[in-house]
A and B are shown apart, each in its own frame.
Chain A
Amino acid sequence: MEAVYEKYFRDNLPHIWCPGCGNGIVMSALARALDKLGYPQDDILLVSGIGCSSRMSGYMDLNTVHTAHGRALAFATGAKVCEPRLKTFVVMGDGDAAAIGGNHFIHACRRNIDMTAIVINNSIYGMTGGQFSPLTPTGKRATTAPYGSIDRAFNLVDLAKGAGATYVARGDVFHAAQLTNLLVEASRHKGFAVVEAVATCPISFGRYNNIPEPADMLFWLRDNTVTVQQAAKMSDEELTDKIIIGKHFETEAVEYCEEMARLLADKQADNEKAGDENEV
């Protein structure tokens, strides 16, 4: 177990995360997943946005890019299309992916480029101190929703599926072993894979919503998550406010980089033929 930590983490700790933050659990799940996947570290690209969660890129000993708020997928798109050999992971916050980066998110789903997008959903803007995000459940409190949010929230799983992602899963930081497995599966999937990692932010979310203790937040997750299999047997009413975890969706579709390679091969061949004819 320890070997995993030493290998994938840089020696520039301490990190910025608050005690009890769920981000570290997601990072360790990713490290374990990478260990299972066995890719050479030199071939892994980790791109992140801006937020507490996105600081992860600075801590992991991979090819890493900490981008701008919302833009991680845009950066990753250019890098991956040019260097398809890079095993690409993109870490984003809920605000990062679903608000400011929402447009890039749906278009990345649509293009189906082979990469794994991890959305760390702590239901809040953690880094800026607790404003509500498009994934904050209606009624929850935030510094900018002092009376409870009146906004409706996205269901990220439905959004990703609707936009064309070819693998969609949701895990959480209480079920860290399952989260690891989902990340492995997502990375092995050929195409754009989305893993929503429901995480705990005791400081900027818990404090305003009567669960200030990190352990209580984890227990809350334990008590309010149901697996995809369990959910299939439950009524809509029973599922109200439940977080459904596990693999939600997987399908096969043309992968963008492969399609690009095909186009380039075709057109280069045409070009050479035309060149030969010109010479005659």
Chain B
Amino acid sequence: MTEIKNKHVQLMQGNEACALGAIKAGASFFGGYPITPSTEIAEYIAREFPKLGRYFMQMEDEIASIGAMIGASMVGHKAFTATSGPGFSLMQELIGYAAVAEIPLVIIDVMRFGPSTGLPTMPQSGDIMQARWGTHGDHSIIALSPSSVQEAYYTTIRAFNLAEQYRTPVVVLLDEKIGHLREGFDISQDLEPEIINRADFVDKAATSAGGGKYLPFANTPSGVPPFVPLGQGERYHFTGLTHNQAGFYTADAEQVATFMHRLCHKIEDHVNEIAEVEQLDCAGADCVIIAYGAVARSAQEAMVELQSQGYKVGLLRLKTIWPFPAEQIREICADKKLVVMPEMNMGQLAVEAKAALIGSGVPFHSITQVNGRLIAPAPIMQAVIEQMAEHSVKQGGGR
């Protein structure tokens, strides 16, 4: 099955949905190395890609995997991989390379418990900060986190679209619980998803900006230079060295600074277009639960239960982790009486959320759990009730 038969509701696994999403997005190269809990993606692609005339390669390690992906993307292919924490760590040097050389890539990181081999392969949202700061030096990155199987499909398509549009590696941070979850999948009533290709941004004017010569790293107004694949007549150069607009090494302080700022700003200046959040009953709520990934499902259950007990609770679900939607969080939460944030880690993203609320005076409570189990609704409810009491927010009423 390569195309979804849009007729029936199917039972599907999150990892399979990612693979299907990649196929739909037009991915044509997969380079990977097996690691639980991501391997179903490689297996699915190994089976389906040949039938579609697309390339699947099992590489000798994760460094080779991302190296091959970068090579494939340079010559114009949409490349992706699926891995988990240990493999994601091995990829970091070349994720930095892809950021600097502005190579579109998609990495599906099905997160497992760490550090090291950890508790294989129990869930932990352990790679939140690794996705942001795993490489050396400064660059921005995009990371998305779906909360359901169907969303894993659309998130993967979006990851490819964003990679093409912003010329950047994009990470799908998939909780193991979503990767291995099987649930109903029905997109029969949905609109066809938009598919973005790097070629959409290449027009003649852009390529001739350099006086008839293609500038692969042009300082365009959007911050994203048009990408003409290597080997299609524009002979140019890729390097991990800081480079000028033509792509050649420069140590000129001004050019280096311009380049570095463009690299960060091409993403950070577009947070509102890139970062998606979902609000459930946040308006009028006393307490907002901020959650992402699998934990958002428990958080939603906790919210519903708390509401039935008379608490005014809303859920702010982060579908995008990086760039971090600080402004949106501030707008939604600044007038609340309490914000709680459950995470399957020691509070990696709470650091950012808390920082977003500095000066608002809203009490912020981070709920952490690192025992290899998904956070259940109960501890979230308990924390909300306790914190509401502590900050004397009455049930069903104002302060």
Structural contact, B241 and A66, CB atoms closer than 8 A: yes
Query: How many Å lie between the Cα of A77 and that of B66 in the bound state?
Result: 11
Binds A, one of B193-201, B229-237, B256-264: B229-237
Structural contact, B94 and A82, CB atoms closer than 8 A: no
Chain B residues within 8 Å of A83, by CB: 75-76, 231
Query: Secondary structure of the B side of the interface?
Result: mixed
Per-residue interface assignment for chain B, residues 217 to 254, with 1 indicating a CB less than 8 Å from any chain A CB and 0 otherwise: 00000000000001101011111110000001100000
Q: Given contacts A58-B248, A65-B74, A68-B93, are A45 and B230 in contact (CB under 8 A)? A: yes
Instruction: Give A269's nearest chain B residue, CB to CB.
Output: B51
Chain B residues within 8 Å of A268, by CB: 50-53
Query: How many Å lie between the Cα of A12 and that of B76 in the bound state?
Result: 26
Instruction: Give A46's nearest chain B residue, CB to CB.
Output: B237
Structural contact, A58 and B239, CB atoms closer than 8 A: yes
Taking the complex as formed, is A267 at the interface, i.e. its CB lies under 8 A from any CB of chain B? Answer: yes
Tell me the A90-110 residues at the B interface (CB within 8 Å).
103-104, 107
Tell me the A109-152 residues at the B interface (CB within 8 Å).
none
Q: Given contacts A79-B75, A82-B72, are A63 and B239 in contact (CB under 8 A)? A: no
Structural contact, B230 and A79, CB atoms closer than 8 A: yes
Which one, B71, B233, B235, contacts A74 given CB within 8 A? Answer: B71
CB distance from B181 to the nearest CB of A (A): 29
CB distance from A89 to the nearest CB of B (A): 13
Chain B residues within 8 Å of A170, by CB: none
Structural contact, B51 and A64, CB atoms closer than 8 A: no
Chain A residues within 8 Å of B313, by CB: none
Binds A, one of B57-65, B278-286, B293-301, B304-312: B57-65
Query: How many Å lie between the Cα of A74 and that of B59 in the bound state?
Result: 9
Which one, A45, A68, A80, contacts B240 given CB within 8 A? Answer: A68
Instruction: Give B28's nearest chain A residue, CB to CB.
Output: A82
Taking the complex as formed, is B70 at the interface, i.e. its CB lies under 8 A from any CB of chain A? Answer: yes
Query: How many Å lie between the Cα of A140 and that of B373 in the bound state?
Result: 56
Which one, A42, A58, A77, contacts B231 given CB within 8 A? Answer: A42
Instruction: Give B239's nearest chain A residue, CB to CB.
Output: A66
Chain A, interface residues (CB within 8 Å), range: 35 or more
Query: How many Å lie between the Cα of A64 and that of B101 in the bound state?
Result: 13
Structural contact, B237 and A64, CB atoms closer than 8 A: yes
Chain A residues within 8 Å of B93, by CB: 68
Taking the complex as formed, is B37 at the interface, i.e. its CB lies under 8 A from any CB of chain A? Answer: no
Per-residue interface assignment for chain A, residues 39 to 60, with 1 indicating a CB less than 8 Å from any chain B CB and 0 otherwise: 0011101010010000001100
Structural contact, A104 and B75, CB atoms closer than 8 A: no
Q: Given contacts A71-B94, A103-B61, A264-B50, are A77 and B67 in contact (CB under 8 A)? A: yes
Chain B, interface residues (CB within 8 Å), range: 35 or more
Query: How many Å lie between the Cα of A266 and that of B57 in the bound state?
Result: 17
Which one, B53, B57, B236, contacts A63 given CB within 8 A? Answer: B236
Structural contact, A75 and B51, CB atoms closer than 8 A: no
Taking the complex as formed, is B97 at the interface, i.e. its CB lies under 8 A from any CB of chain A? Answer: yes
Structural contact, B52 and A67, CB atoms closer than 8 A: no
CB distance from B31 to the nearest CB of A (A): 6
Taking the complex as formed, is A81 at the interface, i.e. its CB lies under 8 A from any CB of chain B? Answer: yes
Taking the complex as formed, is B69 at the interface, i.e. its CB lies under 8 A from any CB of chain A? Answer: yes
Q: Given contacts A58-B237, A77-B57, A83-B75, are A45 and B231 in contact (CB under 8 A)? A: yes
Chain B residues within 8 Å of A67, by CB: 67, 70, 97, 238, 240
Chain B residues within 8 Å of A264, by CB: 50, 53-55
Chain A residues within 8 Å of B60, by CB: 103-104, 107
Chain B residues within 8 Å of A42, by CB: 231, 233, 235
Chain B residues within 8 Å of A263, by CB: 50
Structural contact, A65 and B72, CB atoms closer than 8 A: no
Chain B residues within 8 Å of A270, by CB: 51
Query: How many Å lie between the Cα of A62 and that of B239 in the bound state?
Result: 14
CB distance from B55 to the nearest CB of A (A): 6
Chain A residues within 8 Å of B63, by CB: 71, 74, 104
Residues of B at the A interface (CB closer than 8 Å) are: 2, 28-29, 31, 50-55, 57, 59-61, 63-77, 79, 93-94, 97, 230-231, 233, 235-241, 248-249
Given contacts A78-B67, A271-B2, 5 further A-B contacts (CB under 8 A): A66-B240, A74-B67, A75-B67, A107-B59, A264-B54
27 residue pairs A–B, Cβ–Cβ below 8 Å: A42-B233, A43-B231, A47-B71, A57-B239, A58-B248, A61-B235, A63-B230, A65-B230, A66-B238, A66-B241, A67-B67, A68-B67, A68-B97, A74-B59, A74-B71, A75-B70, A78-B29, A78-B71, A79-B72, A79-B230, A82-B55, A83-B76, A103-B60, A107-B59, A260-B55, A264-B53, A268-B52
